[in-house]
Amino acid sequence: MKIGKFKLIDSISSIVGSWWFLIFHIIWFGGWLFFKLDINLLIMVVSLEAIILMILLLMDQNRQVTRDDLRDEEDLQVDLKAVRLGEEILKEVREIKDKVSKL
């Protein structure tokens, strides 16, 4: 079920962060003001939408941070393995150098 929630959050984030969403809202609010509909209702709708979108975007950001942390941990493990391998290679090169210098 968690995967479904994350997909939903990702989908909403991609829609909310689009030009289409911005243009739709400009037209929607402009039309609301042009036709002089109830401004208090508009304020309430906008406030509720802002709260819901903020929560969803923060959830998406938290997911991104978690994903970045996992990626950073994997990168660290790869780097540590590369350092160990480099140390082993350096040790072998020193052993070969010692053998060659004894000849």
What's residue 89's pLDDT?
95
pLDDT of res. 1: 44
pLDDT at 96: 92
Q: Which domain holds residue 64?
A: 2-102
With a cut of 50, which residues of the chain have pLDDT below it?
A: 1
pLDDT on residue 60: 84
Q: Which two tokens stand for residue 86?
A: 């480099």
In the prediction, which pLDDT does 5 show? 64
Total number of domains in the chain: 1
Tokens of 60: 């998406």
pLDDT at 8: 80
